[in-house]
Amino acid sequence: MKHILSILIFSLFSFNAAAEDIPVDKPFSLGTGFYRSILDSDDFIDEIEFTGIAFSFGYAFTDQFAFRGTYFSLEEVDFSELESKGFDLNLYLGTGLASQGVKAYVGGGLYKDEFSIGSDSDSFSGLQLSGGVGYNWESISIDFILNIRETSDYEDSINEDLSFDIDITAVSGSLLLSLRF
């Protein structure tokens, strides 16, 4: 693990040193798009699937290093009274993040998710791994992003309610169209 961390840190500094020659003309992005979140278990519960809309803000520090924050508002597919609202905050290491053309990136960050039915609600938060691909034009960009979430908060809540010990998998994905400026 120490070797992997050392390689990642070395790569980050190498990317940043090489990126100093590349001017970042349009580092900011504001976007909107579709968002989908799925919680699944092989044990007991059926898949819980949310879909809805997302709004994002991004900043490319260099062509290899960027930040993105995304707010989402979703409804459960089969039971629309169940809503999910929250946000993702991610840092990315990749290629093509600031320049025009194809981009690809991996990273991680935090998520916060709140389920609600009427006045009842439950909050979940944790770490997540994230990655994406996309394309930057001069003034717009498109991104497909996939997040794999840490599930301990989801599991604690569901296991407490059901008196079971269920393992859950949680993923989310978004397709975003953004303005670059």
Query: For 49-99, how does the pLDDT look when each residue is reduced to its tens digit (9 = 90+)?
Result: 999 999 999 999 999 999 999 999 999 999 999 999 999 999 999 999 999
Nearby residues of 2 by Cβ (< 8 Å), 6 or more positions away: none
**Domains and their CATH numbers in the chain:** 2-180 (2.40.160.20)
Read off the pTM: 0.83
- Please choose, from the candidates 164, 145, 146, the residue with its C-alpha nearest in 3D space to the C-alpha of residue 156: 164
Query: For 10-36, how does the pLDDT look when each residue is reduced to its tens digit (9 = 90+)?
Result: 555 554 444 445 567 899 999 999 999
